[in-house]
Amino acid sequence: MHILLVGAGLSGAVIGRQLAEAGHQITIVEARGHVAGNCHTERDDETGVMVHVYGPHIFHTDDAEVWDYVNRYETFKPYKNRVKTTSQGQVFSLPINLHTINQYFGKTMRPEEARTFIAEEQADTTIEDPQTFEEQALRFVGRDLYEAFFKGYTIKQWGVHPSELPASILKRLPVRFNYDDNYFFHRFQGMPENGYTAMVERILDHPSITVHLNVRFTRDKAGDYDHVFYAGPLDGWFDYELGRLGYRTLDFERFTHDGDYQGCAVMNYGEEAVPYTRITEHKHFSPWESHEGSVCYREFSRACEPDDIPYYPIRQVKEKALLADYVKLAEKARGVTFVGRLGTYRYLDMDVTIREALDTAAVFLDKGAETPAFVKPPL
Ligand SMILES: Cc1cc2nc3c(=O)[nH]c(=O)nc-3n(C[C@H](O)[C@H](O)[C@H](O)COP(=O)(O)OP(=O)(O)OC[C@H]3O[C@@H](n4cnc5c(N)ncnc54)[C@H](O)[C@@H]3O)c2cc1C
């Protein structure tokens, strides 16, 4: 079959490769001037540092098949994500761990002492059934840690007060009573030696795959193909006829520095008074390289307007209701499968994106043109 993939991010690349290997002819159209979607990396002209152009991306997974998959196309160097945060005039370790707690309260507690201290002297036990993010945080960690590490950051990141967000966002106790500051628990973690774009280029390097960059798909082209996999925005497929699904977008402010600016890749800023959420110093993502200069980006979050890049789906009550209406429309469509973070309006880590792309390709190889609109339901 002749198959069209809209979007040359991880979703499009992985589905395209799987289907090309099974003998199908693949055409990919990509609106941007590069492949790899939001994982795109490129070298900074001035400093030579490899930059994660759409924000920092750390690969982490528990899925051994996905880990094998990415290692087939790129060498992954060991990398542990250790994030710091600046708040109330000090630098702390994240996620909140024993070091953070001892430093914040000026104590030298051992794990069980800290657990008791948080439970008995900090947590607000008058809140019996937390309904909001704020109540949940107060119930778990108390006002001091909530205000230093959650409140300002959340307001900046999501543009709403934590008292307007559901408690479900903070599902588990967001505190570790040991000194483990590795951000992710997954078994496999790493950074692609030559960047994510080099990896995606290799995934796409197959004689049956043709990629057209700087080409924006419009729905009238769908009829030229036996099937379409669409990794663009779900509401965009329908020309936003029911309204726009809400996203947060990001603005990045670049600056350079001689030497080492902040000593780590990601420094969060927990206070509302600092307008940016974090500063990323990209050379720390490639500790095996050496660069005299450094390039950093301040990251600002705001509501996404029609001409902005959609980054984080908001998925609150209003957006989910609109999503349900779009899902109903999409389920009636024929010859198209909606995939990836934009096509299914979900936040997806890279490993989940690859897992879903592999599963979607397998469904297509089994069902062909009968493949449903969603292999992974968005709701
Ligand atoms: C700030 C940020 C940080 C992240 N950090 C991490 C991390 O640390 N670790 C992790 O595992 N994941 C991270 N992610 C998630 C990661 O970016 C996604 O998993 C991944 O990008 C999803 O790939 P995709 O192909 O589904 O979507 P995308 O990468 O968005 O690709 C979709 C592509 O479709 C193209 N497109 C859209 N509409 C059209 C159209 N009409 N015509 C042609 N082309 C079109 C777009 O230009 C885009 O290139 C992060 C995401 C963000 C936003």
Q: Ligand 1, from 6, 10, 29, 38: best to mutate by most atoms within 8 Å of Cβ?
A: 38
Q: pLDDT 10s digit of each residue in the chain, 379 long?
A: 999 999 999 999 999 999 999 999 999 999 999 999 999 999 999 999 999 999 999 999 999 999 999 999 999 999 999 999 999 999 999 999 999 999 999 999 999 999 999 999 999 999 999 999 999 999 999 999 999 999 999 999 999 999 999 898 887 778 999 999 999 999 999 999 999 999 999 999 999 999 999 999 999 999 999 999 999 999 999 999 999 999 999 999 999 999 999 999 999 999 999 999 999 999 999 999 999 999 999 999 999 999 999 999 999 899 999 999 999 999 999 999 999 999 999 999 999 999 999 999 999 999 998 999 999 999 9
Catalytic: 299?
yes
Is 278 a known active-site residue?
yes
Tell how far CA 119 is from the center of its chain. 32
Domain range annotation of the chain: 1-35+204-242+314-379, 97-166
Report the residue among 6, 35, 39, 66 best suited for mutation to probe ligand 1: largest number of ligand atoms under 8 A from its CB.
39
Whether 334 is catalytic: no
Is 261 annotated as catalytic?
no
Compute, in angstroms, the gap from residue 162 CA to the centroid of ligand 1.
Answer: 26
Helices (H), strands (E): how many in the chain? 12, 17
The DSSP code for 118 is: I
**Considering only CA atoms, which residue is closest to atom 37 of ligand 1?**
232
Greatest alpha-carbon span in the chain: 68
What superfamily in CATH does domain 1-35+204-242+314-379 come from? Answer: NAD(P)-binding Rossmann-like Domain (3.40.50.720)
Q: From 33, 35, 38, 30, select the one nearest 6 (Cα to Cα).
A: 30
Distance CA 280, CA 49 (A): 12
Torsion 330-336-341-342 (CA) sign: negative
The H or E element containing residue 317 is helix 317-332
CB burial of 336-354 (b: ≥16 within 10 Å; e: otherwise) equals: bbbbbbbbbbbebbbbbbb
pTM, two decimal places: 0.97
Residue nearest to atom 2 of ligand 1 (CA): 55
